[in-house]
């Protein structure tokens, strides 16, 4: 007889996070371990990152770091990969604010590979940021304690000092077993004494006749000889005197220039090869998702916020679904000095949903006129490819003015003027 081996339930064992040396996950010379490590954080408590008084590794900044190796039992029905998420709250206790990127949270593997990373930016003193990362990890590596989480905080940067408190660290394996993966059909041969009914032997084999050992609970499979049809009126199958009648499906394509819906234009080619069974070749050409935004308003006055991150909400553009996107921006700007001065403008694109940077901090314009007038105006270009694992995601332009000497009299960007407008475009290039 055919039976099914059903393995459902929670895996044995508890997930653990064990403190380890953070060095394998450094990405620049100014990172250094936090004395004492971070086990109190991994155990669910708080962890203080005291302010430093000097840079590290020959740099003018210090990021103190902690890391832990992650272990979780194999899922009951393991398909080889699980999704892991980690989250932590970080509070800047001051006295200074964070400088640009003031710390990272990373998920990776014990060998130093980084699978996912997020960062906090320009965190003011007294502010709290919640950092969250999610990544797919080989389940066997996670069971062997080869998963890793890494956290660092900027404790010193060019004379500015700050103390941080990290708390509310959590991590979890998100994937639940698929019931279909938990059921294994097998054959059971039972020999009985015809006179007494006593079972003389029981032999289990797989469907190919090889010996099989039941891992969970053996029982009837969720099928049988009696056929029951769903009475839903949308069910086109029916029983007849000759057996089950299933209507034949005929596929038709959408012709060139046709539309399958308002969101996308799709041409579909269908070629049938008759036989038993019929085979079908289906091809499709997809017009990918795209969008365009004009920032029609006034420029952002960066002179009033020198050295600060200035977001431009009028530039917001939405990535509606998961996929890989080409994103670029034309940024209008004006920068100048009347009495002599030097400085520059920075711009970057940022995923407002996750806080992740799409581009690096890019210099849009610069002047250096210590003794007299200088004025610049024009359009600078930012361009990147960005992979969004989920949607929707909002992408926004951010700006910053930096004064390096003298006095700037004009620093503005991100809007429209008589010579053009700030524009942001996206095009989905693949799933």
For the chain, which domains are there? 2-7+179-219 (no CATH), 16-173 (2.60.120), 240-255+264-286 (no CATH), 290-430 (2.60.120.40)
Sign of CA dihedral 227, 231, 235, 239: positive
Q: pLDDT at position 288, please?
A: 72
Write the CB contacts of 286 (distance below 8 Å, at least 6 apart in sequence): 264, 265, 266
CA–CA gap between residue 38 and residue 45 (Å, rounded): 10
CB distance 331 to 379 below 8 Å: yes
Length of the chain in residues, anyone? 431
Q: What SS3 string covers 184-198?
A: EEEEEEEEECCCCCC
pTM over 0.95: no
CA distance 24 to 96: 29
Q: What is the pLDDT along the chain (431 residues), one digit of tens a residue?
A: 778 877 665 565 688 999 999 999 999 999 999 999 999 999 999 999 999 999 999 999 999 999 999 999 877 667 778 899 999 999 999 999 999 999 999 999 999 999 999 999 999 999 999 999 999 999 889 999 999 999 999 999 999 999 999 999 999 987 655 656 677 788 888 887 777 778 888 899 988 889 988 877 777 776 544 456 677 777 767 766 555 666 666 666 555 444 455 445 555 777 888 776 677 787 776 667 899 999 988 999 999 999 999 999 999 999 999 889 999 999 999 999 999 999 999 999 999 999 999 999 999 999 999 889 999 999 999 999 999 999 999 999 999 999 999 999 999 999 998 889 999 999 988 87
Spatial distance between the Cα atoms of 377 and 336, rounded to a whole number of angstroms: 8
Is the Cα dihedral 347, 352, 355, 357 positive or negative?
negative
- Among the listed residues 297, 245, 289, the one whose alpha carbon sits nearest the alpha carbon of residue 412: 297
Rounded Cα–Cα distance for residues 377 and 140 (Å)? 56
């Amino acid at each position: 007889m055919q039976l099914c081996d059903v393995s459902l339930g929670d895996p044995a064992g508890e997930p653990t996070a064990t403190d380890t040396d953070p060095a394998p996950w450094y990405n620049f010379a100014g990172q250094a371990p936090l004395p004492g490590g971070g086990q109190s954080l991994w155990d669910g408590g708080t962890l203080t990152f005291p302010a430093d008084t000097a840079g590290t590794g020959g740099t003018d900044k210090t990021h103190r770091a902690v890391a832990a190796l992650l272990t979780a039992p194999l899922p009951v029905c393991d398909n080889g990969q699980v999704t892991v998420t980690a989250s932590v709250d970080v509070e800047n206790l001051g006295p200074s604010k964070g400088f640009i990127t003031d710390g990272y949270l990373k998920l990776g593997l014990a060998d130093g590979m980084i699978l996912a990373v997020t960062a906090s930016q320009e965190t003011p003193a007294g502010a709290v940021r919640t950092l969250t990362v999610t990544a797919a990890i080989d389940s066997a590596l996670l069971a062997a304690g080869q998963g890793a989480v890494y956290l660092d905080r900027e404790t010193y940067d060019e004379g500015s000092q700050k103390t941080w408190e990290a708390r509310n660290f959590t991590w979890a394996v998100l994937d639940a077993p698929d019931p279909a993966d938990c059921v294994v059909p097998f054959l059971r041969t039972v020999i009985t004494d015809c006179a007494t009914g006593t079972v003389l032997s029981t032999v289990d084999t797989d469907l190919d006749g090889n010996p099989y050992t039941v891992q969970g609970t053996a029982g009837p499979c969720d099928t049988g000889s009696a056929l029951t049809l769903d009475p839903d009126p949308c069910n086109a199958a029916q029983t007849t005197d000759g057996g089950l009648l299933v209507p034949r499906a005929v596929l038709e394509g959408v012709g060139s220039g046709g539309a399958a819906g308002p969101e996308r234009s799709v041409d579909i080619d269908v070629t049938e090869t008759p036989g038993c069974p019929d085979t079908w070749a289906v091809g499709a050409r997809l017009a990918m998702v795209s969008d365009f935004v004009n920032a029609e308003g006034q420029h952002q006055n960066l002179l009033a916020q020198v050295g600060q991150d200035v977001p431009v909400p009028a530039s917001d553009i939405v990535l509606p679904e998961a996929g890989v996107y080409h994103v670029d921006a034309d940024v209008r700007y004006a920068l100048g000095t009347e009495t002599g001065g030097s400085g520059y403008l920075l711009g970057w694109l940022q995923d407002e949903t996750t806080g992740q940077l799409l581009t690096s901090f890019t210099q849009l314009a610069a002047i250096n006129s210590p003794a007299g007038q200088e004025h610049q105006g024009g359009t600078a270009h930012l361009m990147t490819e960005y992979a969004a694992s989920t949607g929707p995601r909002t992408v926004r332009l951010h700006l910053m003015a930096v004064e390096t000497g003298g006095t700037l009299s004009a620093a503005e960007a991100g809007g429209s003027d008589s010579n053009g407008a700030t524009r942001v475009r996206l095009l989905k290039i693949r799933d």
